[in-house]
Amino acid sequence: MLHEFRVNILAMKNVTITMEDHVADWARVEAAKQNVSLSRMLGEILAEKMRHDDAYERAYQEWKSDQRSYTSDGTGYPKRDEIYAERLARIR
């Protein structure tokens, strides 16, 4: 039987980072708990941060481009007693 395997290889970049010893120790333990290399764990953390920031930026830009107007027509808000009077009238 013939099996075909396809592998998508992403370009990876090697980087050097500097951190305090106790941070590096903690990171190694966390990576070991997840059964991944420290490099992979840090890459996943940064990728998730990037996705989060991108989603936030898209939402912000969408909000900024919203053309709806939220201006008042000059009418004041109803008084508390008026709101509750309407609710009580509906119940009765």
Q: Determine, yes or no, domain membership for 45.
A: yes
23 occurs within a structural domain: no
Asked if residue 29 is part of any domain, the answer here is no
Total of domains in the chain: 1
In a domain, 54, yes or no: yes
Q: Look at residue 74 and tell me if it is in a domain.
A: no
Quote the domain boundaries for residue 60: 39-65
Strand (E) positions, 11-65?
none
Residue 58 covered by a domain: yes
Structure tokens at 81: 């007693």
Contact criterion met (CB below 8 Å) for 3 and 28: no
Q: What is the mean pLDDT of residues 69-89?
A: 82
In a domain, 91, yes or no: no
- Domain-located, residue 53: yes
Q: What is the pLDDT of residue 16?
A: 92
pLDDT digits (tens, 9 = 90+) for 10-69: 788 888 999 999 999 999 999 999 999 999 999 999 999 999 999 999 999 988 888 877
What's the pTM?
Answer: 0.56
